[in-house]
Amino acid sequence: MSNCFTMILMKIVSVLLSFVLLGIGASGNNELLVIDYYKETCPLAEEIIRYQVEAAVVKDPRMAASLLRLHFHDCFVMGCDASVLLDSDGDMISEKQAGPNVNSLRGFEVIDKIKYYLEEACPLTVSCADVLAIAARDAVVSRGGPSWKVPLGRKDSLKASFDGANQFIPAPNSSLETLIANFKQQGLSIGDLVALSGSHTMGKARCLSFRQRVHDVNTEEYYDKYKRYTTFRRILRSICPRSGKDFQLAPLDFNTPARFDNHYFLNILQGRGLLLSDNVLVSEDHEGEILKQVWAYASNQDLFFASFVESMINMGNILGDNEGEIRKNCRFVNN
């Protein structure tokens, strides 16, 4: 049996085991997440969500990456509880206003539309947090990525955490050490970090997010070492000058920006990751273990897909505390 086939088999077994062990989230919550949670109470829930996600992505292909990012930014703040969807209300400041999210995070109207149809079909049954988890899966599938059974049964948070969003969501200029610590704080491993970073195989980023990557003098040594990548750097500088054009967009993957594939790992091995936080996976990995994982994913898309599915389940299992509800409107708590 080849080593690659053995690695894929081990990943598949790990995914299957994770379905069995889903009762304990990374935060220690004992609430049970199960497959087909809405089979009896709202049997058309996943079909409704899938249809709306597919329609949104056909209209705007970039929306696939945006919906996946919504789920990520939700789970990294107090767990996967739809806190990111709450608007500011009274003394509560929305996470949408936090640095990593403001004028950047998108897809809220798609979630609103999904929730409207779910409330029509089965009122106060499907949580907004579960909608985010399913929509993220369907977004990946819509762009050619893997599918998986999403464990469900999350509750919606009664509050948002503006400070938490500023503190826990990884920055695009993070060092490898910072990224590892950030994921560890969420109960996620270095393997999860690498696999989930592969989501940058689709979507776009603002000039604000990668300006340092192409203009900071601290990166000069990196580019001097890899002179064959200076053309790519000149392209980025034309898109994102030292000042101005803050919201100019560039694809995270210049080769296949609208496809979910393993090209992200090929890109960073060639010095063509858009963000500093992409390139540090190969430029700051002094032990070489992460680099081995990157090479494995660059060489074998099926292996990356299997690992990505496992890590998405791990991330979706960050549950936070037990306090919650099923919101009628994802933007506001029920009153």
Q: For residue 205, give the H/E element and its range.
A: strand 204-206
The size of the chain, in residues, is 335
Using an 8 Å Cβ cutoff, are 194 and 285 in contact?
Answer: no
Pick from 309, 277, 267: which is nearest to 151 by CA?
Answer: 309
77 is in an annotated binding site: yes
253 is in an annotated binding site: yes
89 is in an annotated binding site: no
71 is in an annotated binding site: no
Using an 8 Å Cβ cutoff, are 159 and 83 in contact?
Answer: yes
Cα–Cα distance, 130 to 119 (Å, whole number)? 14
Longest CA span, the chain: 61
Using an 8 Å Cβ cutoff, are 92 and 69 in contact?
Answer: no
Using an 8 Å Cβ cutoff, are 26 and 314 in contact?
Answer: yes
224 is in an annotated binding site: no
286 is in an annotated binding site: no
Q: Which one of 73, 215, 263, 286 is the catalytic residue?
A: 73
Is 73 known to be catalytic?
Answer: yes
Q: For residue 250, give the H/E element and its range.
A: strand 249-251
**Tokens encoding 131:** 């909608």
Cα–Cα distance, 54 to 41 (Å, whole number)? 23
- Amino acid at residue number 45: A
Cα–Cα distance, 333 to 335 (Å, whole number)? 6
146 is in an annotated binding site: no
Q: Would you tell me how many other CB atoms lie within 10 Å of the CB of residue 2?
A: 7
Using an 8 Å Cβ cutoff, are 181 and 170 in contact?
Answer: no
215 is in an annotated binding site: no
Annotated binding site for substrate: 170
Catalytic residues: 73
Annotated binding site: 74, 77, 79, 81, 83, 95, 170, 200-201, 253, 256, 261
Annotated binding site for heme b: 200
Annotated binding site for Ca(2+): 74, 77, 79, 81, 83, 95, 201, 253, 256, 261
